[in-house]
Amino acid sequence: MIALDKLPPVWYNRVMRNNEKEKVMSYYPQVIADQMKKGLSNENSKIAEIGRVLRDSGLSHVEVNYHMNVDEDFIPDVLDCYPKPEKRKPVSSNNNLNPWINHPKKT
């Protein structure tokens, strides 16, 4: 079992005052998602990347195991924070290069 004081704090974008300075604490899954490689499309590669980021951030293997296997909401929360791929813009039929679509015939 992991001591609760060892887990990183979770703050939902609240502004806290500490020594007369304002600090914006971030939502921990968002911090992990921001450190992941961009452009991953496969869910398995995203989950492996979450584990890599946790290890690289200095967490012990027990803490990484807790986040990856015990905390049911951690991986879905990180995946929700991970940027979604941009949708492709539709190609207009006027300048479409697809040979199966009717193009104006050259005269």
- What are the structural domain ranges in the chain? 28-84
pTM listed for this prediction: 0.59
Which residues face 22 on adjacent strands? 17
pLDDT of residue 36: 94
Tell me the average pLDDT across 98-107.
62
Q: Which of 4-13, 23-32, 42-51, 80-89 has the lowest mean pLDDT?
A: 4-13
Mean pLDDT over the full length of the chain:
77
Dist CA 64 CA 58 (whole Å) = 9
In the chain, the largest separation of any two C-alpha atoms, in whole Å, equals 78
Alpha carbon 10 to its chain's center: 16
